[in-house]
Structure 1
Amino acid sequence: MATGRFFIEVGLPEQKSHGDGVLFPMVLNPVSKTNLNVEKKLSDFLVAIKSEKPLLESLVKKRGVILFRGFPVMTPSDFNDVVEAFDFPPKLYIGGRGLRSNVIGRIITVDSRPPEIKIPFHHEMSYLSDFPSKLFFYCEEEPGSGGETPIVLSHIV
């Protein structure tokens, strides 16, 4: 199913259905992959985000999460450009117990504790009166095993 001019919805075996058969998470791929160089593809992705932002916002509101797959986000700097393309107001990580550090721009590490320490389901910075309404995740290096970041719709759970 096409979703806008730049994105196409695809399925994953791990998706779950909730409500009126709504699949979670929503998974979007590029409508077409061209033989352009990586820098050009990234700039195309950034243009797509900016031009389709109202559509993407309505989809995330309806579906809870959008998982972008197949896009040329290769470095933390690329990921920062993607986050910036959405043009949401920045939120600083304030007062949390997570061991985090700034990578570049708006990009910070996740909790840097050893992998054997499990991080339970939580609401990011819910202790603040003005908590973030959007979170972005990026995996720079896929782990050999584990490394899952479960995301749930707490209003459904």
Structure 2
Amino acid sequence: MMDMNGLTDLRSVCGNAFPITIKFDETLTVYKFVKWYVRNREEIDAMLLDKGALLLKNIEIRERADFNAIVSGIGEKPMAYMDGTTPRTNLGENVYTSTEYDANQIIHLHNELSYSAQWPSRIMFCCLMAAESGGATTIADSRRFLKEVDPVLLDALRAKGLRYVRILSDGLQGGQSWQKAFQCSDRATAESYCREAGMEYHWYPDGSLRITHSHPGIIRHPQTGEEVWFNQMDQFHPLHLGREIYEMLLLMYGGTERLPLYVTFGDGSEIREEWIQNVMDTGQRIAVNNSWQAGDLLLLDNVLTCHGRQPYCGERKILVSMF
């Protein structure tokens, strides 16, 4: 439990706890929480650089406006969810719903927008309503991920990097559209974004857009210099949907060339399926479940910590802001 007095030596008390969890003795209003956060910003920043994840509990967050007030009150400037691959709704002022993905599906661990030219340094989640059952946000230390994944895969990744492939629809078909991904309605703007981001692009006759983008997959944290696992390799490979669906998709699309999402090594060579499975197995093994309660805030360093989601039943309202 934590009173309003501050964070004196809290990191040493928490030891290896992940995430660091602070539960306030009394329910804090948004105003009191912002005041506490600003006063303790230096120590909060140090915690995130050390542990990568901070869970704050017992805050009076009842609606989106409360979350907006916290984000703006602590002085953050949320970024737009540009170049996204998954559906989510902008609720205003760059506060979004968490990924609107089927409730019965797992979302594998990933670093947000790690395939893109621009990604957030931090992510803040808040819980307005916890699911009836399930729905935990899973998190894992990206430094540990790097140590636990198959070393032969790491050697290949360091040598070749990754090439992400996406085919975005024209907005009339199913799946993610280029209009939503790039938040525009004209091809020229989409093409300009691709060029500036270093993406290769190709228009198909049906109006869909194929884009490819290379990324190392392993990077160093810009402040600590630590080497970390930083990619979405398994999410871009259809094996993560299960063998049956994977094989069905290959039949539907006539191979990998027209799959909506795909990934290879940077030189275009295939990534072995057993390596994709190893990444998924590693994530499951090291993931920590953060089970939500209304009024929770979860703050992540997006480079040091990857996140995902467990399946759930019932209504679930989790909001997110990226900065």
Same fold (TM over 0.5): yes
Partner of residue 5, structure 2: 5
Q: Is 1:22 paired with 2:20?
A: no
Q: Is 1:56 paired with 2:44?
A: yes
Partner of residue 14, structure 1: none
Q: CA deviation at 1:90?
A: 2.4
Aligned partner of 2:106 among 110, 118, 131 = 118
Partner of residue 290, structure 2: none
Q: Is 1:69 paired with 2:40?
A: no
Q: Distance in 2 between matches of 1:131 and 1:109?
A: 17
AA aligned to 1:84 is S
Structure 2 counterpart SS, 1:100? coil
Q: CA deviation at 1:57?
A: 0.8
CA contact under 8 A between 1:45 and 1:71: conserved in structure 2? yes
- CA gap of 1:71–1:7, structure 2 versus 1, over 3 A, is farther
Partner of residue 12, structure 1: none
- CA gap of 1:139–1:109, structure 2 versus 1, over 3 A, is same
Larger Rg: 2
Structure with the bigger percentage of strand: 2
Structure 1 counterpart SS, 2:22? strand
Q: CA deviation at 1:123?
A: 1.1
Q: Distance in 2 between matches of 1:117 and 1:96?
A: 19
- CA gap of 1:71–1:141, structure 2 versus 1, over 3 A, is same
Q: Is 1:33 paired with 2:26?
A: yes
Q: CA deviation at 1:62?
A: 1.2
Q: RMSD of the alignment, in Å?
A: 2.5
CA contact under 8 A between 2:20 and 2:51: conserved in structure 1? yes
Q: CA deviation at 1:122?
A: 1.1
Aligned partner of 1:99 among 87, 91, 94 = 87
Considering Cα pairs closer than 8 Å and 6+ residues apart, tell me whether 1 or 2 has the greater RCO.
2
Q: Deviation string for 1:77-121 (max 9, x for gaps)?
A: 111212223323422111111111112323101121221122111
Q: CA deviation at 1:47?
A: 1.0
Q: Distance in 1 between matches of 2:51 and 2:131?
A: 27
CA contact under 8 A between 1:98 and 1:110: conserved in structure 2? no
Q: Distance in 1 between matches of 2:3 and 2:115?
A: 36
Aligned partner of 1:146 among 125, 134, 156 = 134
AA aligned to 1:97 is T
Q: Distance in 2 between matches of 1:128 and 1:86?
A: 27
Q: CA deviation at 1:71?
A: 1.4
Q: Distance in 2 between matches of 1:104 and 1:89?
A: 13
Q: Distance in 2 between matches of 1:33 and 1:76?
A: 21
Aligned-residue identity in percent: 23
Unaligned runs of 5+ in 1: 10-16
- CA gap of 1:57–1:4, structure 2 versus 1, over 3 A, is farther
Q: Distance in 2 between matches of 1:130 and 1:61?
A: 20
Partner of residue 44, structure 1: 32
Q: Which moved more, 1:112-121 or 1:81-90?
A: 81-90
AA aligned to 1:5 is N
Q: CA deviation at 1:135?
A: 0.5
CA contact under 8 A between 1:125 and 1:132: conserved in structure 2? yes
Structure with the bigger percentage of helix: 2
Structure 2 counterpart SS, 1:70? strand
Structure 2 counterpart SS, 1:135? strand
Q: Which moved more, 1:82-91 or 1:131-140?
A: 82-91
Q: CA deviation at 1:128?
A: 2.4
